[in-house]
Amino acid sequence: MYTEIVREYLRECKLPTIWCPGCGHGIVLGAVLRAVHRAGWNKNDTVLISGIGCAGRAPGYVDFNTLHTTHGRALTFATGIKLANPKLKVIVVMGDGDAAAIGGNHFIHAARRNIDITAIVFNNAIYGMTGGQYSPTTPFGAYASTTPFGNVEYDFDICELMKASGATFIARSVVSNPRQIENFVYKGLLHKGFSVIDVLTTCPTGYGRRNKLTDDGVKNIEYARSRVIPIEEWQNMSPEERRGRFPVGIFRDLEGRSEYTENYEQKIIPRAQNMGCEK
C-alpha cells in the first residue's frame, strides 16, 4: 500500500534517482509524499521547492508544481509564490548546507515572519553532492573532505536555531523511523505558520566512508538510530549522557500567532489599494 501511495505522486519517467545506494533521502521523500496523501492535498495546488544539493533533486521526481532554485534561495522563491497565491500549499526541501549555511539568513527570516510554509531539512551533516565538504551540522571531530583532521567547529542545532527564530512548529526525526517522519511532516503540513521538520538522514558515500561507518546503507541508518533519544528522555539526561546524541520529537507546536500572508492581505493590500495601487 505504501508503495502504491508513493508512486501516485512520482514522475516515474524520471526514475531511477541519482541518489547513491543507501542514501536516506529516498526514505525521507517517501515519508513526505505519504504525509501529503494523508493531508488530502491536490497535486495541482501543491508546490515543492528546493535549492541545490542532493535534497535539491527531489522536485524532479514528484508530480507537483515544482521548482529547483539556486543554492540557499529556496525559501525566497517559496515566499514569493506564497505571497502571490496564498491558497497554494508550499513545501520546501533543503539540505543542511542549503538551509543553514548559504541559506541561513533566509531560513531565520522565514521563521521570524511565520509564513505558512513547511520546510523539511534533509540533514545528513555533509555536502554530499559537491565533494563531501563539512557543513554547519557536521559534528565536532567528524571527518569530511575539508576537515581531514577532524572538524574543529561546533555544529548548529537546527531545532534550537528555529526556536530562537520564531518558527511555530518544530520537530526532529531520524531516517530509521519513516513513520515518525511522516507523522511530523503531516502535522507540519496542517500547521498554520512556518513549520520545520529536521530529519537526521544518512550519506554513506560522503560521510559514512570518511567516518568509519563504511558505505553500507543499513549500517549508516543503524548508526543514525543509535544517536537519537526521545525528547521526553532527553530532558532527564545529564550533559555527559547527551554528548554526541540528539533529541527527537516535537519541540514546539504553537497556535494563535498571526501568519505572514494573512497579515499582508489584511493590513498592507487594502491600504495600497486605497492609494490607487494594484494588488
pTM of the model as a whole: 0.94
**Statement: residue 1 has pLDDT above 70:** no
In which residue are the cell numbers 526514475 written?
15
Q: How confident is the model at residue 212 (pLDDT cuts 50, 70, 90)?
A: confident
Task: Report if residue 29 sits inside a domain.
Answer: yes
- Give the pLDDT confidence of 97-135 residue by residue, as tens digits: 999 999 999 999 999 999 999 999 999 999 998 899 999
Looking at per-residue pLDDT, the higher value among 15 and 127 belongs to 127
β partners of residue 93: 50, 120
Q: Does residue 90 lie within any of the structural domains?
A: yes
For 109, 113, 212, the CA distances from 79, given in Å and listed in that order, are 11, 10, 40
Residue 200 phi/psi, 5-degree rounding, is: -75, 110
Mean pLDDT score, 52-76: 94
Is 279 a residue whose pLDDT tops 60? no
Measured distance CA(117)–CA(186) in Å, rounded: 13
The answer to whether residue 114 sits within a structural domain is yes
In a domain, 125, yes or no: yes
86 is a domain residue: yes
- Could you tell me if residue 141 is left (phi over 0), alpha (psi between -120 and 50 degrees) or otherwise beta? left
According to the model, what pLDDT value does residue 270 have? 74
* Domain housing 64: 2-274
Q: Does residue 69 lie within any of the structural domains?
A: yes
- pLDDT digits over 72-103, tens only? 999 999 999 999 999 999 999 999 999 999 99
Domain harbouring 20, CATH code: 3.40.50.970
pLDDT of residue 275: 73
Give the pLDDT of residue 89: 97
Render pLDDT for 229-260 as a digit per residue (tens, 0 to 9): 999 999 999 999 999 899 999 999 999 899 99
What is the count of structural domains for the chain? 1
Strands 65-68 and 89-95: unpaired
pLDDT band at 221 (very low <50, low <70, confident <90, very high): very high
CA-closest candidate to residue 119, choices 206, 47, 203, 41 = 47
Q: Are 62 and 11 in contact (CB under 8 A)?
A: yes
Q: Is residue 279 part of a domain?
A: no
Give the pLDDT band (50/70/90) at residue 2.
low
d(CA 240, CA 237): 8
The model's pLDDT over 159-206, given as tens digits with 9 standing for 90+, comes to 999 999 999 999 999 999 999 999 999 999 999 999 999 999 999 999
